[in-house]
Amino acid sequence: MTVQSVTVGENVHLAELFADPYPTYAKLREKEPVCFVPAANRYLVTRHADIVQLERDPETFSANEAQSLMKRVMGHTMLRKDGAVHKRERVACEAALRPNVIRGHWMPVFQSIVDDLIDRMIEKGETADLFDSFAAPCASRALAALLGLTNVPWQNLAIWSQAMMDGTGNYGNDAEIWRRSDEAAAGVDAALDEMIPYLQKNPDNSIISAMLHAADPLNREEIAANVKVIIGGGLNEPRDAIGTAVAALLENPDQRAQAEADPAQWRNVFEETVRWVSPIGMYPRQTTKRVELGGTVLEEGARIGVVLASGNRDEAVFENAEKFDINREKKPHVAFGGGPHFCLGTWAARVQVGEVALPTLFRRLKGLRQGEGPVTWAGWVFRGPTSVPVAWTN
């Protein structure tokens, strides 16, 4: 009998990554930190140092992936552009997302969304699934406001977001997935047809208004593509960060007590949450020339998966990385990426989740505790809890 040798990458299966990617990431970091994984059809980069090095060199590690399905679904968004063309579109959005605008204008908007959702939870009783009753609507309503898509029910935004993200991962060419992602994209286009003329005449602090009134304004096509990428990518991350933080604090009563006693700690809770379970677990890049990374030679055109979720659990940087610990030594995590595409919504997320949603939930839902049934988790490209049963006392 001949025993065939199986490479480290061939042993990686998407179903395992989806269920719990962390044991696989630990193996990859140890055995082959830049490893071709056939199931993902790309090299996964799993060590913190290699991720940081790659992000410092966007000319070699391009965001403009040739076979990107994101372009098929959304058009050519800033997330898949490099250099000056990327910068121009990014700068056009910035006015809406600066820390002073987030604190001065958007924080009270987030607070009223959060209070309204908690009022509804309290009215309905003393138990809920935090995912459906709070995290998902909170993230969706906040994003609709931030974008300036106030003509769209939050449920539509959530459905469109999921449909477009499914489209960007539709490597199996499933016709039904295309149908739904095309329908979602058409829904965004119709909503924009209504809002653009209004915001053109009535500028405000929203992202679409910023795009229209920037020093170098974006055209209709650029606005549509970038609104789609923000709906696809700016909704599930705050949602998942809320669910993850609540699950972690209910599991760690000492850390919860610390945050409740000292409001300054909520900032640490947020940063540790996105380090511990990074809402964007992996994003793609492609090499523009032959290059060596982490001991592996990558040919020009190699498809890369930058595994932020693994970098954030790298023991070379974070001691006891598997543990949720708001008191850990401050080290730079990579949950918001790095380099030119560093998350544009960082302050929106910090304030929405860390300064408004979490402190208000723990203050207003008296005796917040785990409800019946387990917290369930899913995903590796995006990861978060899919159910967080909670209970409180009215």
Chain residues in the site for ligand HEM (CB under 6 A): 78-79, 90, 146, 230, 233-234, 237-238, 241, 274, 279-280, 283, 308, 335-337, 341, 343-345, 348-349
Judged by CB, which is closer to ligand HEM: 237, or 325? Answer: 237
Judged by CB, which is closer to ligand HEM: 110, or 392? Answer: 110
For the CB of residue 3, give the shortest distance to ligand HEM in the complex, in Å: 40
Judged by CB, which is closer to ligand HEM: 156, or 278? Answer: 278
Q: What's the rounded Cα separation, in Å, for the pair 255 and 120? A: 27
For the CB of residue 179, give the shortest distance to ligand HEM in the complex, in Å: 26
For the CB of residue 343, give the shortest distance to ligand HEM in the complex, in Å: 3
For the CB of residue 150, give the shortest distance to ligand HEM in the complex, in Å: 15
What count of Cα atoms within 13 Å lies in the side-chain half-sphere of residue 307?
A: 26
For the CB of residue 119, give the shortest distance to ligand HEM in the complex, in Å: 23
Regarding beta strands 61-62 and 303-306, do their DSSP bridges make them parallel or antiparallel, or are they unpaired? unpaired
DSSP class per residue in 155-193 = HHHHHHHHHHHHHHT-TT--HHHHHHHHHHHHHHHHHHH
Judged by CB, which is closer to ligand HEM: 345, or 371? Answer: 345
Judged by CB, which is closer to ligand HEM: 249, or 343? Answer: 343
Which amino acid is it at 112? Answer: S
**Which residue has its beta carbon closest to ligand HEM?**
345
Which residues touch 23 (CB under 8 Å, ≥6 apart)?
none
For the CB of residue 339, give the shortest distance to ligand HEM in the complex, in Å: 7
| Residue from 180, 118, 158 nearest 240 by CA | 158
User: What radius of gyration, in Å, describes the C-alpha atoms of the chain?
Assistant: 21
CB count in 10 Å sphere of residue 240? 28
Judged by CB, which is closer to ligand HEM: 33, or 337? Answer: 337
CB count in 10 Å sphere of residue 7? 13
Q: What's the rounded Cα separation, in Å, for the pair 55 and 93? A: 22
For the CB of residue 230, give the shortest distance to ligand HEM in the complex, in Å: 5
Three-state DSSP class for residue 296 = strand
For the CB of residue 69, give the shortest distance to ligand HEM in the complex, in Å: 14
Judged by CB, which is closer to ligand HEM: 208, or 371? Answer: 208
Judged by CB, which is closer to ligand HEM: 158, or 343? Answer: 343
Q: What's the rounded Cα separation, in Å, for the pair 86 and 222? A: 11
DSSP class per residue in 215-245 = SS---HHHHHHHHHHHHHHSSHHHHHHHHHH
Q: What's the rounded Cα separation, in Å, for the pair 340 and 82? A: 8
For the CB of residue 25, give the shortest distance to ligand HEM in the complex, in Å: 16
Q: What's the rounded Cα separation, in Å, for the pair 54 and 62? A: 10
Judged by CB, which is closer to ligand HEM: 70, or 392? Answer: 70
Helix (H) or strand (E) holding 283: strand 283-287
Structure tokens at 239: 């949602």
| Residue from 206, 135, 153, 91 nearest 352 by CA | 135
Cβ 246 vs Cβ 121: under 8 Å: no
